[in-house]
A and B are shown apart, each in its own frame.
Chain A
Amino acid sequence: MLSTVISRPWIWSWVAAAAAFVMVMALTQGRGASELAYAALSFGAFAAIVGLGQMLVITLGPGNVDLSIPAVMTLAGTLSLKAMGSDPNTAALGLLIAIAAGVGAGLANFALIYLLRLPPIIATLSASLVFQSIAIWSNRGLRIKPPAGLADFATGRTVGIPNVALVGIVLSIIVWLVLERATFGRWLLASGQNLRAARLAGIPVELVRATTYVTVAVLASIAGYLLASFSGGAALNMGQEYLLTSIAVVVIGGTSIAGGFSNVPGVWGASLFMFLVVSMLNSYGLGAGVRMMLTGLIIIGIVVAASTRRIRT
């Protein structure tokens, strides 16, 4: 029983998250536990949503990664807030605009990869410059507030759980269902193991790749839309920290960097961990430099622990 639990690759990110939580609590003698959990769920949700997308892309196999996530978040946040213009009852319109921006960005990314045969790392990085420029051009430095109702939703809670976390959980369940139960999930996992073998087994691999690159952009755009509403407006650097985060949560969460194996629960554990480890270092009063260095070292430690365990089993 214990061994089957330990052999789950996602367990490590949850253990690490719990450890970080306990470390903070040790310092505060247990005060503020629910506040910390609430904050972790709120901020972790954004990391989890973009992490889900990055996970799908990384599952496509070596070389596949989307570095345009921050730019797509900014673009979707900017365009949707501009369309809503702080007017009430425009939340659905804003969401639609955000998703449309995501679809467009995803198609653009894949067009570069497929038509010009660019490596995804180059294609998405250069495309992100374009996305960022469009965001700057359309925004012109204005900070538009989200509609009040939407802002309330993004910062609010239902039965004690942050609404953004609920959205993240629903999206996670959808992604999990697709991966575990749907034909498309099988196709994706097969393509990630061996693209040529998948093609020869009759899988429409280019359709799978295109859909995956669009999906990651749509998830990033939803995260951007929510984050802009959550933080009272879009900012040009709002997605910045999610470049490393989106990749880190995938790796810490136990998804195979070599492709072909995804892990949804691990992404959540890792997202909570990423927030909690920063809180922990903050509450111990460490300076910014030490904090970043320790964060890096801790991530390396977790990845090593998780991967050596996987080799042994």
Chain B
Amino acid sequence: MNSAKVTGTPLVALTNAEKHFGAVRALDGVSLSIFPGECIGLVGHNGAGKSTLVNLVNGGLMPSAGTVSFPATGAPRALEAGVRSVFQELSLCPNLTVAENLRISHADLTGFGWRTRARAEIRKSLDTVFPDHGIDPNITVDRLTIAERQMVEIAIGFAPRGTQARLVILDEPTSSLDAAIAEQLLAHIRRFCAQGGAVLFISHMMGEIFDVASTIVVMKDGKIVASRPTPDFTRASLVEAMGHVAGPETEKAATSRPAFGADILNSKTGLTASKGEVVGLAGLAGHGQAEALAQLYFEHTSSWRAGKGSDMVFVAGDRGRDGILPLWSILRNTTVSILPQIARRGIVDRAAETRIAAEWKARIGIRTADVTNNILSLSGGNQQKVLFARALASKAPVVVMDDPMRGVDVGTKQDVYAMIRSEAAKGRTFLWYSTETDEVCQCDRVFVFRDEAISAELTGADITEDRILEASFEMQGVDA
């Protein structure tokens, strides 16, 4: 646990900052100062105003009222004040190399040989934050996995880029990283703060917040509702401050695994599942889980036929690549998979469609005034809810989920867990890849992946964090 070493003048100071978008008060009078050496953990539900706050600090938005200043440097703008942002939605250019991506935010890299200097700078930054990262600065970003892209993005955030990073804003930096890499990042944050840097850390993972933050700031409905040193919080009091009444811990009857019938699913990779079972895919990120699920889905569905209902539906985790249809409304995005069921002679029954969309908006709590709004008007977590609704609205007996909880807040997660449980009880089968161990631990059966293959199959009482980690890492110690 870090103790706050608050010294000197604040790097950034917000006084009564407000931000309105039309009638929406995204930020409703926030005062916050961040001092050198501090790591602020910023928590709150989706739509609590975290992203707006971040955008005020980094200069992406101007406050509607109140002020944002940078007393420590006296700089007029966030850029000169050494404020850096690393976003949850990846913002690298996929067609450029890692080094060239550094150049985008480092305008001083000009003249002959800038690539060489860019390579050296990004390599040094990667080496510092993620030792043994194995990322070649000359590779184009589209050839990196999502976790590697996130690592590059973080390294760019911490790179000196001509001046010096004083305040680094990390928005859900670990959501696509596995535990070992995330731990490297947390260690770097501690080092960075010890050297007088400051970090604004946004995460839905409580463990990390408690691990790394010196102060925890809780936001709700555009306001800061609590701001205290980390030791003054407990998990329960933090969740309470966020305003979501945590349900009782999902009880998993570890001892009495319900008797499932014969396997209804058998993939080439060795995945099996029975009717009504929730099967988890675990292991370090990027070890073939997502590919195994996509392959399974492609094997069981056709590009040429669509009957009244397919056997399998897919919930995307990489929303932009695999899920969202960006030109469409929330309504059309919700119903796209069930069109054959609600069509009569090939014509979509629009009354039924509207009814189903309204039903799922209420059931899964999509935060929008009108489902005919464009899908991109929703926050990331709410877009994810739409993708859940799309899959669950179908009658498909098997639901495949590719790390679907990225960027989803705690309250929604609990709701979705409950929904998955009740659907499973009705006989649906779930295949669920997750980078979060506590999610995997809720499953009835877990396959741990290592190096594109299944390294362990766990059931019942064997599903523990220790066993999963053991199976994820086992060979790495031996090889080294």
Contacts and interface: CB of A to CB of B under 8 A. Distances in A.
Interface of A: 181-184, 186-187, 189-190, 193-194, 196-207, 256, 260-261
Given A200-B322, A204-B303, A193 B310 contact: no
A194 B303 contact: no
B326 A202 contact: no
Given A183-B347, A186-B348, A202 B328 contact: no
Interface string B276-307: 00000000000000000010011001111110
Which of A183, A203, A207, A260 has most B Cβ within 10 Å?
Answer: A183
B292 to A, nearest CB: 15
A206 to B, nearest CB: 4
Given A201-B323, A202-B306, 8 more contacts: A182-B343, A183-B340, A183-B346, A197-B322, A197-B323, A200-B314, A200-B316, A201-B337
A183 B348 contact: yes
A17 B101 CA distance: 46
Contacts of B332: 186
A60 to B, nearest CB: 14
A256 to B, nearest CB: 8
A198 B306 CA distance: 12
B321 A203 contact: no
Nearest to A187: B339
Contacts of B336: 186, 190, 198, 201-203
A197 B306 contact: no
A45 B127 CA distance: 65
A207 to B, nearest CB: 5
A205 B325 contact: no
B237 to A, nearest CB: 40
Given A183-B347, A184-B346, A203-B336, A197 B304 contact: no
A193 B325 CA distance: 6
28 contacts: A181-B347, A181-B350, A182-B346, A183-B340, A183-B348, A186-B339, A190-B336, A193-B325, A194-B326, A196-B321, A196-B322, A197-B316, A197-B322, A197-B323, A197-B325, A199-B303, A200-B323, A201-B323, A201-B325, A201-B336, A201-B390, A202-B310, A202-B396, A203-B336, A205-B303, A206-B304, A207-B304, A207-B305
Nearest to A259: B327
Contacts of A181: 347-348, 350
Contacts of B301: 202
A64 B302 CA distance: 22
A204 B326 contact: no
B297 A200 contact: yes
Nearest to B344: A183
Contact of B394 (A183, A202, A206): A202
B313 interface: yes
Contacts, number: 83
A261 B347 contact: no
A150 B301 CA distance: 47
A248 B204 CA distance: 50
Nearest to B350: A181
A172 B323 CA distance: 31
A260 B326 CA distance: 9
A189 B348 CA distance: 14
Q: Which 5 A-B pairs have the closest CB atoms?
A: A206-B303, A200-B314, A183-B339, A204-B306, A183-B343
Given A181-B347, A182-B347, A183-B339, A204 B305 contact: yes
B209 interface: no
B324 interface: yes
A135 B303 CA distance: 34
A204 B308 CA distance: 12
Contacts of B326: 193-194
Contacts of A256: 327
Contacts of B298: 199
B441 to A, nearest CB: 27
B378 to A, nearest CB: 16
A207 B305 CA distance: 7
A273 to B, nearest CB: 25
Contacts of B340: 183
A49 B195 CA distance: 70
Contacts of B303: 199, 204-207
Contacts of B327: 189, 193, 256, 260-261
A184 B336 CA distance: 11
B302 A204 contact: yes
Contact of B325 (A184, A190, A202, A207): A190
B354 to A, nearest CB: 14
Contact of B313 (A189, A196, A202, A260): A202
B332 to A, nearest CB: 7
A186 B328 CA distance: 10
Nearest to A210: B304
A197 B386 CA distance: 14
Contacts of B394: 202
A186 B298 CA distance: 21
B337 to A, nearest CB: 5
Nearest to A208: B303
A189 B328 CA distance: 9
Contacts of A190: 325, 328, 336
Contacts of B294: 200
A256 B328 CA distance: 13
Which of A199, A207, A256 has most B Cβ within 10 Å?
Answer: A199
Interface in B316-370: 316, 321-328, 332, 336-337, 339-340, 343, 346-348, 350
A186 B211 CA distance: 48
Contacts of A260: 325, 327
Contacts of A199: 298, 303
Nearest to A178: B346
Interface in B425-440: none
Which of B297, B298, B304 has most A Cβ within 10 Å?
Answer: B304
A239 to B, nearest CB: 31
